[in-house]
A and B are shown apart, each in its own frame.
Chain A
Amino acid sequence: MTADSAKTNAAKTNAATTDAAKTVVSITDLDVSFATDAGTVRAVDGVSLNVAAGEVLAIVGESGSGKTVTAKSILGLLPETATARGAIVLSNRAGTSTNDVLSLSKKQLRGIRGSDVSMVFQEPSTALNPVYTVGWQIAEGLRAHGDYSRAEAKAKAIEILGRVGIPDPKTRVNYYPHQFSGGQKQRVVIAQALVLNPGLIVADEPTTALDVTVQAEILDLLRRCRDEFGTAIVLITHNMGVVADLADRVVVMYQGEVVEEADAVTLFQNPQNDYTKRLLASVPHIGQGVLQTAERASAREASWANAAPVVVADHLRIEYPGRFGRSAFVAVDDVSFEIRAGEVLGLVGESGSGKTTIGRAIGGLTKVSGGSLKVLGHEMNGVRERVFKKTRSDIGFVFQDPASSFNPLLTIAECVAEPLIVHGRARDPRSARKRVDELLEAVQLPASFGDRYPHELSGGQRQRASLARAIALEPSLLIADEPTSALDVSVQARVLELFAELQREFGFAALFISHDLAVVDLLADRIAVLYHGTLVEEGTGAEVLGAPQHPYTQRLLASLPVPDPVEQAARREALHTLRAAQTAAS
């Protein structure tokens, strides 16, 4: 702790001596407390940091570390239940005026928001109002801060849309948000933030809701904001790859306190704090899984390849019916793959690629509309629930969001006992309790957790309980739909490890669905890549990730940021060359 406090002191003296024009925002001893039902809770505790002009400062930490609260307090966006103390001194772009955000009135706050500091939100589709054109929404910021005629505002909106890389801005300025893709929407949100040319942009997880390939483009754009507009950026993220790609300096927060502050290269190569070290160690890298996969492949008997597969998809096609005579939406088209007994197939793809749909079809939650899908010997095309019901005891399912996959009114033990009761292995939760305790132990949760309610567990613990429920009937097939995407990196590492352990112990076949190549690589024997509902590539981890054949896989792999600033800079160049080559080819 002494090293940290020394650092905080150093930062303080820094703030005093730095030229005011160069520091955009200087936070000193910020404390933020929230009033909750459980009493007062301190979310941010004595945080001090400075952001220089034209600098990208990343604030990293897991959920609940206070990073978002710190960033929001720069804009004075704290909810009414919060009280903040300390000082946040914000300068305007020219450095001619400084304000302490915490002592400003609401009216004064409105004056600095947009012109001195603005914000880019996580979810671009909810940050834009669907009933106004994007041009109107960009002009709204202008109207709030100055006297612009309609034509002037529109010209300004067109100009800024062009600068953030929206093609044909003259026409697009009159488009509504739903006419843009997710990445373009985020560009519009960034344009909205840039239009008044603020000295500082607070970007709260700006790429979390986007696919990896789009994320790379948005990160490029944010880098251009810094280089071309000279805007300082406070970047809040939990993704260490994004930090390595964009940040100049990094602040690591833990439990509301700053535990480490360093420039990006130093932090990744030589982390000082234990927590930072642990955080960096738990980020999955591509290539970690190769050894494991080879080991498992060699342990298998020769006859294994000839045994009947657990799941066979043959020209599988899944459609969602269209509304009011519109043609049906094809989610999965002509996909063929197999999962053999005891094998983990990793299914990778962007949002909308149909990977979740395939998982749901195997679990009997979505109807198959064409081709053939055989699950444990049952043909799922036109299957009847009554016939399939018995087979369900052989299929386990782990859902993406651990928060909503448990009935909030039942205890963990009752939830885990549910499959046992439904399939007649136990009469009621009490008689199943012994087995439930064993299961909880298998996922390394204390048996006493069985008496708690789902909301009393953390995300990682809930996801482990969810695994316990999935393996309760010792299934021969487990479907895991993005089981770790809602978890923090350190927790994710733990859950993945547990998944691998359970798989070794129980030997179930698994379909592991994820958007994260590194996570899939860690667990899967074979990887299948989906793109717009079609299977573009399939093979072992070494084949798919080592030497990708399909242009999409190449782009996907190149877009994935790695948690090392030096290597990432090289990869970025490679991605640009690849993208240029692919555009030239097509």
Chain B
Amino acid sequence: MSAETQRPETKPRMQEPRKQSLLARLPVVHQLRQSVGLQRGMLIAGLIITAVYVISAVFAQWIAPYGFAQLRNASGPFGSQQPPSPSHIWGTTVGGYDVFSRVIWGAQTALEVMVVAIILSIFIGVFLGLMSGYLGGWLDRILVVIADAIYAFPSLLLAIVMSIVISGGQSSLWGGIFAAAISITVVYIPQYFRVIRSEAVRIKNEAFVESAMVIGASTPRIMFRHVLRNSTRTLPLIFTLNASEAVLTLAGLGFLGFGIEPTAAAEWGYDLNKSLSDVTSGIWWTAIFPGLAIVLSVLGVTLVGESLNDLADPRLRGRRAVAAAPVAAASDSEPVDVAPVAAKSGDSQ
């Protein structure tokens, strides 16, 4: 043990607490703690917007003053195109619905589309990507060609076809949700596929996979224990892009008139469509609020995704400016951490 244990590398590591608390290691919390400056601002803004959006979706029943298809209450009909007032804080639509309630309920529909779209595409995409990347050969070639062909499809066109196939155009709540979700799925499977495939191809050549091979581990064991777990790092980014695309497609469907019936569920795209004529006649509240809802929900999710992506990459991650390093404290941990930094800066040359 002579030469090496005297090296300082062994000691400081032992003194360090090996694991942070469970809370600090949770995916988003961990990134939030290590972020600084603008990146932290982006992440927090994204998280707040997303949180507001998710809360209003989950608790729509209690937040919204009226139902999404409610036209009248005890004191009679709401009236059409009423400007904002204490009883209808964001006014009413041309169809006589309460705008505020429709926007809140719409969040629920949008969230359902996101969840369905992600669940449908992520498993198939990841599995196919892993097979294709690790096994290679003719399977890989065929899957890549199919994935490329699907890229050529406009997702909105696909969504329209889907909605016609599923429910003949004018659709129910789940018909509309699945039309949007499935079309998103078809477009996003290739994306998950591509990302996981390229990671799998890279990791396939890493020494630890070869060391598993020389041990004699079976192919499925190598694929799932060694390759899959190391290739999921970029998933959060596509995950969030996928979610925002799902919302946009649903809104697009609704705007084109293939969306969900207003009596089946609230849907932002449908409301925007119906408010088209209002805009020219100076009725601003019917268009602004659903429009803002779409923009903010997409913005929030994308901000979270972008900042997670930046924070995952040590080269993009911002750090606090170095104050004068306290000599005594720093010299303890120094040799361990300097090595990678020095090596990295060497590589980048």
Contacts and interface: CB of A to CB of B under 8 A. Distances in A.
Interface residues of A, number: 74
A460 B4 contact: yes
A104 interface: no
Interface in A445-475: 451-452, 456-458, 460-461, 466, 469
A85 B327 CA distance: 13
A36 B342 CA distance: 12
B338 interface: yes
Nearest to A408: B230
Nearest to A455: B340
Contacts of B321: 35, 83
B217 interface: yes
A106 B223 CA distance: 48
Which applies to chain B's interface (DSSP): helix, strand, loop or mixed?
helix
B10 A458 contact: yes
A276 to B, nearest CB: 13
Contacts of A268: none
Contacts of B1: 444
A404 B349 contact: no
Could you say which interface size class chain B belongs to? 35 or more
B75 interface: no
B135 to A, nearest CB: 14
A40 B322 contact: yes
Contacts of B18: 451-452, 456
A422 B346 contact: no
B338 A41 contact: yes
B342 A43 contact: yes
A278 B349 contact: no
A418 B10 contact: no
Interface stretch (B84-92, B191-199, B291-299, B328-336): B328-336
A37 B333 CA distance: 12
B229 to A, nearest CB: 5
B221 to A, nearest CB: 7
A585 interface: no
Interface in B309-349: 314, 317, 319-327, 330-331, 333-339, 341-343, 345-346, 349
Interface stretch (B95-103, B168-176, B208-216): B208-216
Contact of A400 (B207, B226, B320): B207
Given A64-B335, A68-B342, A407 B325 contact: no
B34 interface: yes
B206 interface: yes
A401 interface: yes
A444 B2 CA distance: 11
A108 interface: no
Contacts of A400: 207
B3 A42 contact: no
Contact of B4 (A36, A39, A466, A491): A491
A33 B325 contact: yes
A555 interface: no
Specify which of A64, A79, A85, A494 lies most central, judged by the most chain B CB atoms within 10 Å of its CB.
A64
B9 A458 contact: yes
Contacts of A37: 34, 314, 317, 319
A492 to B, nearest CB: 10
Contacts of A43: 334, 338, 341-342
Specify which of A68, A121, A204, A469 lies most central, judged by the most chain B CB atoms within 10 Å of its CB.
A68
B52 to A, nearest CB: 30
17 contacts: A33-B330, A34-B322, A37-B34, A45-B327, A63-B343, A255-B8, A282-B3, A392-B215, A407-B208, A407-B225, A407-B230, A419-B216, A422-B215, A458-B336, A460-B7, A466-B211, A493-B3
Interface of A: 31, 33-43, 45, 62-66, 68-69, 72, 77-79, 81-83, 85, 121-122, 126-127, 204, 255-256, 278, 282, 363-365, 389-390, 392-393, 395, 397, 399-401, 404-409, 415, 418-419, 422-423, 444, 451-452, 456-458, 460-461, 466, 469, 490-491, 493-494
